[in-house]
Chains A and B, each alone.
Chain A
Amino acid sequence: MGVFIWHQWAQIVGIFASVCTIWGGLWGIFFRKFFWDFVNGTLMPGPNHAINGRKCFDDNPCGIVPAKQDAIFISLIVKAPVIQLFVILFGITHLAIELLPVIRRMSIYRSFALRIVTYSLQTFLSVLLYQGTSGAMYSFVAVIGFTVAQMKGEIVEEAKEQRGRGDKA
């Protein structure tokens, strides 16, 4: 039956995943939250409680207070939106690779190995963000798609040059 071209499908999923990731990253700048903070973190039962020297008020909400060992993630996500910016950068780069006509003629457009690596990185960074889990999941689906494509030895066709067929009937 019809041959399913894995990389063709993975590219579509990848575009979608990258859009989700960029969108999640943008919102992650405004609502900063480390997704895994529930691990070893403590949930403030409500306003006017204090844990680890932090106090929550109505005008200073806090929700889950993350564990001390997660400090590195807190500084990279909550204190400064570093991972958010990286995630957005990855998303934009992926969209450029998949969609820009200029890149279609370059060898990076034809490389699955590169995509497996970059989409994996996008998955890993994105899953750290509260808003990034969906994007991470779809990116991972794209990684699976590209991996199968690589294992099956699929080849990206070189972009056809736009040439008229001239006198050929």
Chain B
Amino acid sequence: MGALQEWVKAELLTPRRLLFNVLWYPGHVAIFAYGWYSQDVNPGLKGLNTLRFSVWVSRGAGLVLAVDGFLILVPMLRNIIRLIRPKLTWLFPADENIWFHRQVAYSMAFWAMVHTTAHYVNFINVERRQIRPGNALDIHYRQPAGITGHAMLFIMVIMYSTAHHKVRQQCFEAFWYTHHLAFFFMIGLYTHAVGCFVRGTKEPGFTNTFPFYDPKICIGYLSWRALIWPGIIYFGERVWREIRARRETKLSKVLVHPSGAMEFRIVKPSFKYTAGQWLFFQCPEVSKFQWHPFTITSAPEDPYVSVHIRQVGDFTRALGERVGATPSVVASLTQAAMKAAEKDSKDAGGMTGRGDFVELDPAAATRPLPMIRIDGPYGAPAEDVFKSEVAVLVGAGIGVTPFASILKHIWYRQKRGRLGALRRVEFFWICRDAPSFGWFQSLLQEVEAAQMDPNFLRINLYLTQKLDQNTVWSIVVNDAGAEYDPLTLLRTRTMYGRPDWKSIYGNIRSAIESGQYLPGASSQLKTRVGTYFCGPPALAKTIREAAIEASSATVQFTFAKEHF
């Protein structure tokens, strides 16, 4: 019962998902019904219609597959989506393109099953009744429709099985390379009907000129005329991405942070981006064809593009090895930093930091820095932040990374006095174990130290992991009376446990309404409090509910989830 209730809640009670479900599934059934109907009433296809249900089903499903074959590539047109999306945010609240791609793929699998099953019945009946000369095997394995159809099914088995999340997460390369079989799949899809199966005559009507069949005799849907466009555009996009990636790119610096994260500072004059976006990163010396996504951590005002890379996967480890940030280097760095921190805190007892980052000196290394390429930017720009008076930025876990760029960007604009409507920023960082994001802490430290107005940026840290007794006592002993938080070395105190969003939003609202929060804000105007969240979906839901519940006549709370 619990599972059913959850399903109902996820699929039917979420308005946007409900809208999708209502349009998507009945839409497919309607297209299927139209394909069925148009086959049934076509006087030119009388001969085929003697096959009755199986041919009606196969033609209906065929039309659905044509539509899905068009849709499957649309969410993958990344560059076009990046241009169009900001104008259509009401329709696509976030980067849901992969999710949509998957829905189309599931739909294709189902309708391919229907289409193929119906054709197995069609062909056996063609053979038995000889409404056309030849046997079923010929149609299956000697005619273009059969050959391309079976090939496409086989490609689907390979592509779907390696795209399964288990395989994809274990070995991304297997998924990435096999997914390029899509090229052959699409060729198969465009040529599926050239064999002229859908015809009224006994013999197919082939010609010697493109498209090599007579459209008067071969009266299929001629769907390739529409289907081919997303394919051409996608191909063009891939070529364009390759050209763009080859533009001058220089890896200017590699910094190793004590927490083990490597910061790559890249100079690429042709690369324009806004805060909160991400890029594809390639290092041909490590892997010739692989592109890996990373969040941009520099602000657009910075003279370089930076990404922070932690050595957690095989690619990132190999990359670390290549630039000379081997585990032993990182370990000695971390130890040195910890020793220094201990010593400093004994001597000065004040602001110490976690040890500074170390720049890897290319002159000292035996090899120069590797050539790298970047492609992008992709993802939603976070410019909306400047449209609301109060921005609540919530980063959970690894979802905190885009806020590095956003916070820096806000800081730059603050310096220049170009904050737009923005008056205050509440930054929430919810994290299981903060130390693994040491580099982010040091960035926060800088941002915090640079604040001129103590009320502008407020940092709220929540540590959700369970702590053992020793740590708890250590915190209790070190926290009392110290100027900086013992765990994060920020002025802001770390809070332990999960944040209570209802009371947080309630407090913000009452503070705004009483006029303390935004001095000088006129009460006639509606105050906009925008929440920008990046992190796991379950938390997004909780926060969204709390934010919307807190809205009142004078304070409007909005919520945006970003898949950075």
Binding site for B on A (CB under 8 A): 1-5, 8-9, 12-13, 16-17, 23, 27, 31, 33, 38, 43-47, 58, 61-64, 130-131, 133-134, 137-138, 141, 169
Contacts and interface: CB of A to CB of B under 8 A. Distances in A.
Contacts of B287: 1
Interface string B385-411: 000000000000000000000000000
B113 A12 contact: no
B170 A62 contact: no
Nearest to B168: A2
Contacts of A27: 117, 120-121
A63 B121 contact: no
A15 to B, nearest CB: 9
Contacts of A44: 130
Interface string B108-151: 00000100110011001101111001111100100000000010
Contact of B314 (A1, A33, A138): A1
Contacts of B162: 9
B30 interface: no
Given A16-B157, A27-B120, A27-B121, A63 B167 contact: no
A44 B158 CA distance: 38
B235 interface: no
Nearest to B156: A16
Interface residues of B, number: 44
A100 B162 CA distance: 22
Which one of B120, B133, B287, B465 has the greatest number of beta carbons of chain A within 10 Å?
B120
Interface string B23-47: 0000000000000000000000000
Contact of B135 (A64, A133, A141): A64
Nearest to A145: B161
Contacts of B161: 9, 12-13, 16
A5 to B, nearest CB: 6
Contact of A43 (B117, B135, B172, B465): B135
Contacts of B116: 134
Nearest to A130: B124
A12 B130 contact: no
24 contacts: A1-B171, A1-B290, A1-B315, A2-B170, A4-B170, A13-B161, A16-B160, A17-B157, A23-B113, A27-B121, A33-B136, A38-B137, A44-B130, A45-B130, A61-B129, A63-B127, A63-B128, A130-B120, A134-B116, A134-B153, A141-B157, A169-B465, A169-B467, A169-B471
